[in-house]
Amino acid sequence: MTFNTVNAKQLQYAPDSFTKQFVTLSPFSGQVVSLSHIDDPYYKSGLMGPGAAISSTSNTVLSPFAGKVLSVSPLDYAIDIQSSAGLKCKIKYGGDTSHLHGAQFACSLKRGDEIRLKQVLFTVNAAWLKQRGVSNTCSMTLLNANALIGVVPTHQKFVEAGEDTLLTLYL
C-alpha cells in the first residue's frame, strides 16, 4: 500500500497546533464539490496536490492572492501562479479541454507577470464549453504543499469569486 503525502495534507478541520494560518479566496463562483468529482485520475489520486473544486458557470476566473504568473496553458484552460509568500497553485477551468485547442479561452497574462488580489486571470465562454460537453468543475490545487501542516477546504456549499475563502492553509 502506497501512502500519499499529498492527500495527507488535505484536512477536514484545523490542526490542533500550527504557527501561521493563511486563507486563499475562491477564484471561481459556484457550488463547492470534492476534488474527487473531477474526471481526471491525477486530481482524484491527489497528484495535483490538495485543494478544492467548484461547479461553476462563471466566465471569469480571479486571482486568489497577489503574486506572479508561473505559466499559462490555453490547451488545459489553466494557469499556474505563485503568491508573494511562495505558495504555488494550479487553477484550471473545466474538464478535458485539450481537443478544443484553447478556443474561447482568453488570457492576457504571461509568465512572470505580477498579479493583484482579485485580478482577472482569464476568461472562458462557460456556455460554449458546456455545449461541447466539457465539465464545468473547476479546481484550485496547491503544487508545493510539502511545507504546510495541512489544507482545509471551505465548509460553505457555495462561494463567490474574490469574496469567499476557498482554502485555509496551516503552517
Domain ranges of the chain: 27-150
Mean pLDDT by 10 residues, the chain (171 residues): 55 89 95 84 82 91 97 92 94 86 92 97 92 89 90 95 95 89
CA angle 16, 146, 158 (to 5 degrees): 65
Homologous superfamily, domain 27-150: Glucose Permease (Domain IIA) (2.70.70.10)
pTM: 0.90
* Residue 151 to residue 143: CA distance in whole angstroms: 12
